[in-house]
Amino acid sequence: MVDTQKFVQTIDELERTLRQLADSGVRGFDCAPGALDTLQAWGRQRSQPQAPESLEAIREDIGDCRRCKLCRSRTRIVYGAGSSRARLMFIGEGPGQDEDRSGEPFVGAAGQLLTRIIAAINLRREDVYITNVVKCRPPENRLPEPDEIATCSPFLRRQIAAIRPVLICLLGGCAAQSLLNTTESISRLRGRFFELQGCRVLPTYHPAYLLRNPEKKRAVWEDVQMLMKEYPYEG
């Protein structure tokens, strides 16, 4: 792997040496001022941190993706929705039937519950960013399989890098286990913060699970309060 710092140092040294030689009248190689300026600018460009790519560029890269077998069962790719400058990101496991039809994440009954959870944090859906680990609907609403997650999750990681949220809420066991690289159950993972790509990450129950198990509402409310404590409302 190229050591960028060393590379920049070498370019700088080369540029300095050529300039000295040019100043002392040495000829025989290209040390014209234009060539030296190009070398100097090249070194500077390489030394600057690369700007994060945009959500649009990542979506363009996904294209009409056929990289995993989920492409066979989908109607539409569900990329994600919300603010590209969101401070809070919600990540579920994969699109369901309603999402597959509309192309929007979390639009069914579970989506309405998520909208209420977001409102409880005093935010609107357009203030946050919502997406899934896989962008295509698994058939019969099954869980995404490891090979599908492995193929699709680099796009999610790029989305996280593009948005750089302060907080991420992982919805359900699949999202929590795959992103935190653990086999622990969601009931053990929820209620505490983890770290992922420089963000504070809180796993909680998936809204669809909550619809089937309303007794878990208290636990989710506790998690919502933890998010509210950490959310940077000011500034």
When the beta carbons of 66 and 157 are compared against ligand SF4, the nearer one is 66
When the beta carbons of 119 and 161 are compared against ligand SF4, the nearer one is 161
When the beta carbons of 52 and 154 are compared against ligand SF4, the nearer one is 154
**Closest residue by Cα to residue 156 from 145, 142, 170:** 170
Of residues 21, 35, 36, 62, which one binds ligand SF4 by CB under 6 A? 62
- Does residue 11 touch ligand SF4 according to CB under 6 A? no
CA dihedral 31, 34, 38, 39 (to 10 degrees): 20
Residue 224 burial by CB count (10 A; 0-12/13-18/19+): exposed, middle or buried? middle
Stretch binding ligand SF4 (CB under 6 A), from 19-27, 30-38, 65-73, 114-122: 65-73
- Does residue 117 touch ligand SF4 according to CB under 6 A? no
- Does residue 152 touch ligand SF4 according to CB under 6 A? yes
84 close to 163: Cβ distance less than 8 angstroms: yes
When the beta carbons of 65 and 224 are compared against ligand SF4, the nearer one is 65
Three-class secondary structure of residue 194 per DSSP:
strand
For strands 199-204 and 88-92, give the pairing: unpaired
137 close to 95: Cβ distance less than 8 angstroms: yes
Binding site for ligand SF4 (CB under 6 A): 62, 65-68, 70-71, 77, 134-136, 148, 151-152
